[in-house]
Structures are given as structure tokens and as C-alpha cells.
Amino acid sequence: MPIKPNSLEARDVESVLHPYTNLATLPKSGPFLIDRGEGVYVFDGEGNSYIEGMAGLWCTALGFHEKELIAAATAQMEKLPYYHVFSGKGHESSIALAEKLKAMMPFNAGKVSFTCSGSEANDTQIKLIWYYNNVIGRPKKKKIISRIKAYHGVTVASASLTGLPHLHADWDLPIQGILHTDCPHHYRLAEPGETEEEFASRLAANLEAMIEREDPDTIAAFIAEPIMGAGGVILPPATYFEKIQAVLAKYDILFIDDEVICGFARTGNMFGAETFGMAPTSMSIAKALSSAYVPIGAVILPDFMDEALAEGSRRNGNFGHGYTYTGHPLGCAVALKTLEMYDRLDIVNRVRGMAPLFQKRLKALGDHPLVGEARGTGLIGAVELVADKNSKRSFDPAAGAGAIGQARAQANGLIVRAIGDVLAICPPLIISEEEITMLFDRLEKALDEADAQITKDGLRG
């Protein structure tokens, strides 16, 4: 349907630069505009409702109209709408949030550095590690190892950590000093007959070989998501983090845990690190920290860095990092209320209660003729679409199988995200059993329709 002149859609196309969107085709297709939200549902301008099966962008944990969060934001705006934490200044909400986050960490936490996003948090991680190693006399120890298919953000530095080709092509990325080791996707990358444990051992050996090749004295840190979200909801194979961490410890390499997607109960524990046996040095958080109602992120540093940061100031004067909105009182107040609600709702046990039905319905889709692998844990999952189930043969990217699946889901009142030919699912944590059933009923119908369309159009190749 052509876009009507002077409509919201036309105005959008003329003025808004859309992330992760094909800018060449958008003027013809037009944007999909959302007007309002309620619980796990969002509504378009015509009043059609959709189960938001991605919690927006993996983030709106408490749904789309939580009045307590709105009230907390309103109260903070009335009291102190803005102040900063530069030059030793501060305010109560940033102090209280930092204290709360430190107490939640699965490691001995020191200082908390606030940001506005996960991208900024991971960018800050790099800067702080570089600074730390300079101060303690290790100026060569600067390289950061990430992984192929990792997603860590879109700033110049965090996009370099991201291991997705379309975030590097024509962007002059990655920057120097960022390395990428193997993607831990057993379904796609294991050798014939290789168990998950054997696959994990091979990946750990490959990581060690990279470290030796690059010189261990030049490697500062390794960064990983517990589950690789935007890379396709890829879960680590059995024993993976145990074996990777042994390599990191051997060469005195710091371990950055990117919990931007997995943090705050998504995997059935408060942090994905607990679910997958990770022992990180530091952590990046964002998204569900405020249920995405206000932009906020944070880096939580280990306590052993505190003295080095103070020594840096003895050497250089003022600590030269921070943003205008670091510790913004609005973001901190909403995050505090969000964390309070997670406690009151016993959100971890709520997720554990909903997860069996979610995972049962998800894994059942593995039998669908269009699905090669159905994978997930807690309230996160994905189905990977394949041209041939037996051989695991992927579709030609030009076929757009994932886009077809996403479109059919939307036509059936469900929003999922196509990551290539992977359909990701990550609903608000407040989703009920009835809504989980509706979500998967709609997704199954969408897969049936996508399969029929793909067959009719001869797209299997």
C-alpha cells in the first residue's frame, strides 16, 4: 500500500534515520508505527494489538504500562529533574542505585560507573581497562578478545567488539587491538560427532592459541555475553565457560560479563553469569535495569581496581571519564523502583515458574519442517529456519526466509525479531501462562504460513 502524503509514515520516512533498517527499501514499505502499550501488548494506530514477543529490544521486562515506574519517574522529575556527578557532586538516587547494584553482584564489586546504554557501558569497559593497565604499569596489555557473532554495541569501540559483519562493512571497523575468537554455536560449528564438551575444549584451545600467537602480555580482557543475543540467541555449549575461564586465569586476562540482555532474571537467575557458571571480573548492564522506561546502563567494577583509579588521579589529576547524563537522577530513580519491583514480584522465581511452559512450546517447534534448531533457556529463545532439515542447509540470504517468518508473525499479532534466518523471542518477564500459549500458537501459525509461502515461491533452492 502506497504511503499517504503528509501521513505519520511519510513524515517518518522523510526525517528519521532508522537503526538496523534497510534504508533503500523503507521508503516503499514504510515504517510500522506503534501508538501505545499495555502489559505484554503494543497497539498500532488502527488499534490492532500485538504480543510484543521481543520486549521491545530484549528490554521491557515489566511490560508497557507499569504505573509504579511512571510514578517514580514523575516524583523524581518534580524533586530533581537533572543533576550531574562531575566534580565530586552527587545525589541520593545515584548513591542508592550504586549501593544496590554492588550488593547484587556475583563478585566483589567496587565502584559503579553509570552510562545511558549498553553500548556506552562496553565502550567504558575498554577505556577503564586501558587506564587501569597503564596506571599499574602494564602499558602493553591492551587488546580485547571478543567473539564472532557477539553483540556488544554500536559506538566505535563497542561496535568493534561486536562480531557481526554488517556492523563493520564500510564503517572502518574493527579498530586496532580488538580480536575475535570462535563463536560457540554447537549446532552450526561443531565437527561431525563432536559433543558439546569436546566442542568447548576445542574452542578453549583455539582461544589459548590466539593468546599465545598475539603474546599474552598484550591481552587485557575477554568479553562475552552469557547468551549471544543479537548473534542469534546462541547458548554456550556444556563446560564452555569453565574451560574458557581456565585459559583466562592462566594468562591473567580480565573477564568482562556483558549482561545487557541476560541480566535481571531473563535466564532464570538474576544474572546469566549464575546460569552458566561464569566468574566475571566486571559487568555491563542496561536494558532491563529500568525495564527500558528510561535510558540507563552501568559498569560495575571489581573492588581491586579502586586503588588503581585513585592512583591515576594522584598522577593525572581529575579522573577523565564520564558523560553529561552519568548517574542521571531520572534514570537512577526508575532503575531503583524497577529493582524494588523485581524483589517484590520475586521475579527470578516467577521466570522459573513460567520457563517450563515457554521452553516446552519452544522446543516443540524444533519438529517443524522449517526449523533446524529451537534453542533457549528461561524466557529467551529462538528458532533457526533452514532450507533442509536433515543437512542443516541454510537458505540463500536473498530468499529472506527470516523476514518472511517475521512478517507472518506480525500478520498474526506477534512481534518477533528476524536475525538473518533466526526468529528471536524474548517477551516481557510479566508474561502469563495464557499469554505464553497465545504467543506460541501465533508463532506456530506464522511458521506454517511462512513454510507454505517459501514452498510456493520455490525459495528452498
pLDDT at 461 exceeding the cut of 90: no
Same domain, 142 and 233: yes
For residue 240, the domain's CATH number is 3.40.640.10
18 domain residue, yes or no? no
In order of 98, 101, 292, 328, 339, the CA distances from 94 in angstroms are 6, 11, 17, 7, 13
**Cα–Cα distance measured from residue 454 to residue 458, given in angstroms and rounded to the nearest whole number:** 6
How far, in Å, are 57, 214, 275, 371 from residue 422 at the CA level? Answer: 15, 34, 23, 9
Same domain flag for 163 and 218 = yes
7 located within any domain: no
Task: Please write the tens of the pLDDT for every residue from 150-173.
Answer: 999 999 999 999 999 999 999 999
Relative to beta strand 297-302, strand 254-258 is unpaired
Identify whether residues 122 and 233 lie together within a single domain.
yes
Q: CA–CA separation, 182 vs 200, rounded Å?
A: 10
**At 334, is the pLDDT very low, low, confident or very high (cuts 50, 70, 90)?**
very high
* Contacts for 319-326: CB closer than 8 Å, 24+ residues apart: 321/113, 321/124, 321/127, 321/128, 321/131, 322/85, 322/86, 322/113, 323/115, 323/116, 323/120, 324/84, 325/116, 325/295, 326/84, 326/85, 326/86, 326/113, 326/114, 326/115
Strand partners, 114: 298
Checking if the pLDDT of 441 tops 90, the result is yes
In a domain, 19, yes or no: no
The range of the structural domain enclosing residue 413 comes to 32-65+347-456
Evaluate whether residue 13 is within a structural domain: no
Q: Do both 420 and 298 map to the same domain?
A: no
- The closest alpha carbon to 31, from 7, 50, 54, belongs to 7
pLDDT at 2 (0 to 100): 79
Has residue 437 got a pLDDT over 90? Answer: yes
pTM: 0.96
Question: Are 432 and 414 in the same domain?
Answer: yes
User: Where is the domain boundary, 315, 345, 375?
Assistant: 345
335 and 246 in a common domain: yes
> Residue 293: its pLDDT value, please?
98
Q: What is the pLDDT of residue 85?
A: 97
Q: What is the pLDDT of residues 353-383, one digit of tens each?
A: 999 999 999 999 999 999 999 999 999 999 9
Instruction: Determine, yes or no, domain membership for 263.
Output: yes
Predicted pLDDT at 341: 98
Cell match 578478545: residue? 145
Choose one of 285, 316, 345: the last residue of a domain: 345
CA 344 from chain centre, in angstroms, equals: 25
Burial (0-12, 13-18, 19+ Cβ within 10 Å), 221? buried
pLDDT at residue 398 greater than cutoff 90: yes
Q: Are residues 191 and 308 in the same domain?
A: yes
Mean pLDDT of 186-211: 98
pLDDT at 1 over 90: no
Q: Which of 326, 424, 341, 283 is nearest to 61 (CA)?
A: 341
Do the domain assignments include residue 444?
A: yes
What's the whole-number mean pLDDT along residues 184-209? 98
Give the sheet arrangement for strand 422-425, strand by strand: 371-377, 380-385, 422-425, 417-419
Confirm if 237 and 200 have CB atoms less than 8 A apart: yes
Mean pLDDT, residues 256-280: 98
Question: CA 276, CA 257: separation in Å to the nearest integer?
Answer: 11
Q: Any idea how long the chain is?
A: 461
Measured CA distances, 142 to 112, 292, 449, 454 (Å): 22, 32, 50, 48
139 and 219 in one domain?
yes
**End-to-end Cα distance, the chain:** 29
Contact, 284 vs 258, CB < 8 A?
yes
Mean pLDDT of the chain: 97
184 with 147: CB under 8 angstroms?
yes
Question: Phi and psi of 248, rounded to 5°?
Answer: -60, -40
CA dist., res. 256 & res. 187, Å (int): 25
In a domain, 438, yes or no: yes
Q: Say if residue 124 is in the same domain as residue 139.
A: yes
What domain count does the chain have? 2
Mean pLDDT of 240-257: 98
Residue 213: which H helix or E strand, with range?
A: helix 196-214
What CATH code is carried by the domain that includes residue 436?
A: 3.90.1150.10
CB distance 329 to 75 below 8 Å: no
- Indicate if 192 and 254 belong to the same structural domain: yes
Which domain-ending residue is among 345, 378, 411? Answer: 345
* 119, 153: one domain: yes
Q: Is residue 60 part of a domain?
A: yes
DSSP 269-313: SSSHHHHTT---SEEEE-GGGGTTSS--EEEEEEGGGHHHHHHHH
pLDDT, tens digit, 9 for 90 and up, residues 103-145: 999 999 999 999 999 999 999 999 999 999 999 999 999 999 9
Residues 290-328: pLDDT tens digits? 999 999 999 999 999 999 999 999 999 999 999 999 999
Give the tens place of pLDDT for each residue, 78-98. 999 999 999 999 999 999 999
d(CA 268, CA 291): 16
CA distances from 114 to 284, 301, 313, 380 (A): 10, 11, 19, 26
Q: Are residues 60 and 197 in the same domain?
A: no
